[in-house]
Amino acid sequence: MARSSARSASPMPVPPRPRRTFGDVMKALLAVVALLALVLGVPFGLIQVGRPVPDGPPGEWLSSAIDAETLIRILMLVVWIAWAQFTACVLVEVKAAVSGVGLPARVPGAGPSQLLARQLVAAVLLLGATAASFTPGISGFGQQAPDTHRPTVAAAQQTPGGLVGGQRQDAADALARQAEQIAQQADTGQTHHQSTKFYRIQPPEGRHHDSLWEIAQRHLDDGRRYKEIYALNKDRVQPDGSRLSEASLIRPGWIMEMPADAHGGELVETPGTNPELSEAQQRQLDAYAKDGQGARGGQAEQGGHDARARQRPAARDGDTTTGHFTVPAHHEHAAAEQTATPPATESAAPASHGPGLPEALLGAPLLAAGLLAALGRRRRAALWQAATAVAGRRRGMELPTPSGDEADAQDALFAGADPGAVRFLDQALRSLARSLAAEGRPLPLVYAAWLGTEELHLQLAEPAGPPPAPWTHGEDETFWRLEGRELPTPARQQTDTAEPRDEEPQAAPYPGLVSLGAHDGARLLLNLEAVPGLVSLSGAPADRQAVLSSVAAELATNGWSDRMTVTLVGFGADLVPLAPSRLRPLDDVAALLDVMEAETASRRAGLGAAGADSVLTGRTGPSHQAGWAAHLVLLAAEPDAEQAARLAELASDAARLGIGYLVGVGDDQLPGAAWEMEITTEGRLLAPLLGLELDAQLLPAPQHAAIARLFAAADAFGGGGGDDDPAGPAVAHRPPFLVDISEQGRPSVYARLVGRYELMGLEAPDDERGPLLREALALLLLHREGVHPRVLASALWPRGVGDDVREATVARLRDWLGTDEDGTPRLREDATGRLVLDASVVSDLDVLRSLYHEATSGRGADDRAVRGRLLTDALGLVRGPLLAERPAGRYGWLAHEIVDAQLPLLVADIGLALATFHLERDRAPQAAEALERALVSAGTDERLWNELLRAVHATGDEPRLRALAAEFANRSGARGLPPRSAALLDELLPGAADSGEAGTA
């Protein structure tokens, strides 16, 4: 609340509302005349001239010669069209002015016309009480008043982000002077009272309810500024005795203090007279304003001290410098460049996450992104293993649906993940290493990275000269800073540096970076392999375990590392499925010492033989692919005194060797610890000697166990499942939703997702929100088990959105889907708060799964004719890949889904089963047709191609067989045909592969 208090304590002067002058009246009268002339006079004049379309049939006058009369009629028609468009604009603007809600709708293709209509209608409304609220900035029509408040508001809200160079220092100095002046006024009791604007929450009208977003949109021109209103009014006593605690929970009759640049006729000011208010309402307003002044007065002295601290020559606004670490002052970008709600890497106002979703994962965007990507890869591998298993060990195409804690953890991963931040961090670090290597410079030793919403700061162990462009110096010479918009794309970088396309990819320069927590909107990533010794972590055992689990899980799955080894001592054996190639569990410290003494000696010898000073030198040199992977050790088992001494000796040279140690300890200090940290029971990570105090990133025991079970379930599914399989005998999992495929089972709403997205049974939504609602419905159709509202919001708005917008979208979606004939809503919430579609809303993917299940495990399992009919019907639904031709920039959430891997395997299974059905009766042409149909959605499945080659060979059509073999080879690319396919082709067309007819095997 420090920022909001500072902002409230020193509001900018608000100019009094201008009174109507004689000039205003004249403008309004002229506007009335102009509107009458344009809206009524133009058509009257056109009617006097004549009709724009001549008499007679259209064919006759369209084929006649063009003369002067024809040109006049064409011009008349153009004027009629322009008049109709302008009149529509006037009606739209008048409606918006009367309702006073939101901005006017746009009339297609009427930019200048609508602007003129807006200005004329606004001038007319200057005579009325609602003129100022008609449209943003219209109260200043005809005059140019500079907006001096907004830059100060931006500076007062500063978290890592927006002003640059001297501008930031100037803003900080200005704020310091303001705070100093307020402190002096508080000391002398001479606080100057300035006008403050307020808004009263309006009662609902129909389905419309007031929200902070819409209030900010109407009165601040930007709904994204709702957080400013929330910060000004949080926890203040309202007229009914309650307090504002959540941005989405406001009540009619409440009073909201507004930022100083708010505008609109619904606002009132105090001190001052407000004749539109009753005496009781004025008393409520005065009491609310006094309450706010009291809160600010109590903070003025603190603000003055903060200002004086900022004015010290050696300090800057936002710095907390102690010991080795400095929280960098970030730069906040212009409001127009900000998203609706900051990404997950930015600390935001408290939000209602709903029941069941663990806050630890919601607040760990980098960890969640890594876990989500790793889980997707594991499930895809499990699907392929299940699809290629022998028939007796098949488990079908349906992974078991998570429930309970696993479902909550999975939803939190979806809602909390920020893959964009991971990509930015990875690309920024690799581009830095590439640039330094091109200049022949070594990588600097980096202790930590501070990741903000739009920029990255690297904190160096010591100055390392000028950073390569586009990096710049940050706080001082030990900070290198990169803004996200300055990061070159791979294609641009390749062009700029003239690098060959076949160059080895750049190795990850700092794989030991791992998130520890957040401070003031920036996330701290500590470089464990750069620590000059041991890092100790003290605190309660459960809290230490939560930190170590978070570190282990992120190191195992992060996207900014390549090869690495993470040794877990005394914990984490159940986390190994996250990354079996990275994680290595050991039981005790004794086993660790044996391993690390041997590896330390080996690394020293390897560096000496390579002539490298450290692993950082090796990573940017020609040997960057040979043995310079990081090795990070996480100890939950406490070492005794002798073991601690041996560990300290090993760690004394660890930074040079690319080895890092994080050791959990009890109350006793760890001998030889270079850095000491403590985790508190409140979730704060403290390192006083380093100047750090963070909101710790944790993976508590329940989420640790749930994540481990999610990965274990994927491994069990892909393991096969024979009688001797640890996962148990094979079980064909039922689809999550089975459709009634009889004639009586016709759905109310039917969606085609396999191929081009089409909807039947619903009216098309309005053009503005239609794409959003269609995308939301597609997500719900792919998750019949239900979708948490937070997951829905993160899918539709990857960079975040407010609770009020999310709730409004769910309400629109519910209204659009409507109810069935019996009154059953087609969208409801289950007991866990997840959004679930009614059984009457069906997709072709649901039908496809149901037909295949019935053909293989239902009636078709014992009746050959039924099986053939069901498989034929299922294959008839295949029209292409999932959600083909979807608009660019949308449906990004599909990257986290496994349905894009599941559908091709399911279609391939259907095609193979139907081909087998036909081949059993020697119907090779029908079998080939079924396989070709399946290739529409599963074009890369080797099994389909092999069976198609066999089926065509059985027809005796050799030219077609050769053409198919060539097409398969072309699809395989430079790798050539897979070995099994090449062997099959040699059997069916001897010598074809060797002669080059079908590519290189």
Residue 36's identity, in one-letter code, is L
**Interatomic CA distance for residues 750 and 770, integer angstroms:** 17
Does position 99 have pLDDT exceeding 70, yes or no?
no
Least confident of 158-167, 398-407, 486-495: 158-167
Does position 471 have pLDDT exceeding 80, yes or no?
yes
> Per residue in 15-35, pLDDT tens?
334 445 666 677 778 888 888
**Interatomic CA distance for residues 92 and 105, integer angstroms:** 7
pLDDT at residue number 34: 83
C-alpha torsion sign, points 277, 282, 288, 290? positive
pLDDT at residue number 60: 59
**Interatomic CA distance for residues 46 and 60, integer angstroms:** 24
pLDDT at residue number 315: 34
pLDDT at residue number 401: 84
* CB-CB contact of 582 with 566 (8 Å): yes
pLDDT confidence of 61, banded at 50, 70, 90?
Answer: low
Nearest to 86 by CA among 113, 60, 104: 113
Q: CB within 8 A of 616, min separation 6: which ones?
A: 442, 443, 444, 445, 509
**Interatomic CA distance for residues 915 and 935, integer angstroms:** 12
pLDDT confidence of 166, banded at 50, 70, 90?
Answer: very low
**Strand-pair category, 564-569 with 749-752:** unpaired
Neighbours of 716 (CB within 10 A): 20
**Interatomic CA distance for residues 444 and 471, integer angstroms:** 13
Percent of the chain with pLDDT over 70: 74
Does position 458 have pLDDT exceeding 50, yes or no?
yes
pLDDT at residue number 997: 52
Does position 799 have pLDDT exceeding 50, yes or no?
yes
Does position 336 have pLDDT exceeding 70, yes or no?
no
pLDDT confidence of 374, banded at 50, 70, 90?
Answer: very high
User: At 992, is the secondary structure helix, strand, or coil?
Assistant: helix
Least confident of 10-24, 306-320, 457-471: 306-320
The residue with greater pLDDT, 186 or 138, is 186
Q: If residue 660 lies in a helix (H) or strand (E), which one and from where to where?
A: strand 659-664
Neighbours of 935 (CB within 10 A): 21
- What are the backbone dihedrals phi and psi of residue 969, each rounded to the nearest 5 degrees, phi first? -65, -40
* CB-CB contact of 792 with 779 (8 Å): yes
Range 140-171 burial, b when 16+ CB lie within 10 A, else e: ebeeeeeeebbebbbbbbbbbbbbeeeebeeb
Does position 97 have pLDDT exceeding 50, yes or no?
yes
Instruction: Give CA angle at 567 (564, 568), nearest 5°.
Output: 140
Neighbours of 68 (CB within 10 A): 7
User: At 835, is the secondary structure helix, strand, or coil?
Assistant: strand
* CB-CB contact of 309 with 2 (8 Å): no
Q: How many CA atoms lie within 13 A of 598 on its CB side?
A: 4
**Interatomic CA distance for residues 393 and 531, integer angstroms:** 49
What are the start-end ranges of the H helices in 782-863? 789-796, 803-817, 844-857
> Per residue in 168-197, pLDDT tens?
344 344 444 444 444 444 444 444 445 788
**Interatomic CA distance for residues 440 and 219, integer angstroms:** 55
pLDDT confidence of 729, banded at 50, 70, 90?
Answer: very low
**Cα distances (angstroms) measured from residue 162 to each of 165, 216, 331:** 10, 21, 3
* CB-CB contact of 524 with 694 (8 Å): yes
**Interatomic CA distance for residues 544 and 677, integer angstroms:** 10
Long-range contact set of residues 73-78: C-beta below 8 Å, sequence gap at least 24 = 76/46, 76/49, 76/50, 76/52, 77/52, 77/53
* CB-CB contact of 331 with 455 (8 Å): yes
**Terminal-residue alpha carbon distance, the chain:** 67
**Interatomic CA distance for residues 197 and 639, integer angstroms:** 62
Does position 622 have pLDDT exceeding 70, yes or no?
no
> Per residue in 588-609, pLDDT tens?
999 999 999 998 998 888 887 8
Tokens of 66: 């063009």
Nearest to 335 by CA among 462, 149, 520, 496: 149
Mean pLDDT of the chain: 76
* CB-CB contact of 620 with 505 (8 Å): no
pLDDT at residue number 427: 93
Nearest to 411 by CA among 361, 451, 363, 375: 361
**Interatomic CA distance for residues 135 and 259, integer angstroms:** 17
Does position 698 have pLDDT exceeding 80, yes or no?
yes
- What are the backbone dihedrals phi and psi of residue 660, each rounded to the nearest 5 degrees, phi first? -130, 150
Instruction: Give CA angle at 262 (267, 111), nearest 5°.
Output: 105
> Per residue in 517-545, pLDDT tens?
998 888 999 999 888 889 999 999 999 99
pLDDT at residue number 32: 82
What are the start-end ranges of the H helices in 719-765? none
Beta bridge partners of 825: 819
pLDDT at residue number 62: 60
**Interatomic CA distance for residues 123 and 103, integer angstroms:** 17
The residue with greater pLDDT, 737 or 724, is 737
One-character DSSP codes across 401-444: PP-HHHHHHHHHHHHH--HHHHHHHHHHHHHHHHHHHHTT-PPP
498-512, 550-564, 715-729, range with greatest mean pLDDT:
550-564
> Per residue in 822-846, pLDDT tens?
889 999 999 888 999 999 999 999 9
pLDDT confidence of 141, banded at 50, 70, 90?
Answer: very low
Task: Tokens 């050991």: give the residue.
Answer: 586
> Per residue in 487-511, pLDDT tens?
865 533 443 333 444 455 678 899 9
Neighbours of 100 (CB within 10 A): 14
**Interatomic CA distance for residues 554 and 578, integer angstroms:** 10
Tokens of 818: 């409507």
C-alpha torsion sign, points 308, 310, 311, 313? positive
The edge-to-edge listing of strands for the beta sheet with 749-752 is: 758-760, 749-752, 841-843
Residue 469's identity, in one-letter code, is A
Beta bridge partners of 537: 664, 677
What are the start-end ranges of the H helices in 17-57? 22-36, 42-49
Task: Tokens 């939504």: give the residue.
Answer: 765
> Per residue in 423-452, pLDDT tens?
999 999 999 999 998 888 888 999 999 998
pTM of the model: 0.64
Neighbours of 715 (CB within 10 A): 17
Based on the number of CB atoms within 10 Å of its own CB, is 443 exposed (0-12), middle (13-18) or buried (19 or more)? Answer: buried
Long-range contact set of residues 307-315: C-beta below 8 Å, sequence gap at least 24 = 307/175, 307/176, 307/177, 307/178, 307/179, 307/180, 307/183, 308/176, 308/180, 310/172, 310/173, 310/175, 310/176, 311/173, 311/176, 311/180
* CB-CB contact of 644 with 593 (8 Å): no
Nearest to 181 by CA among 8, 312, 308: 308
Nearest to 631 by CA among 597, 672, 590: 597
Distance of CA 334 to the CA centre of its chain: 20
Query: How many separate helices (H) and strands (E) can be counted in the chain?
Result: 33, 24
**Interatomic CA distance for residues 530 and 969, integer angstroms:** 48
pLDDT at residue number 524: 93
> Per residue in 876-930, pLDDT tens?
999 888 998 888 888 989 888 888 888 888 898 899 999 999 998 889 999 999 9
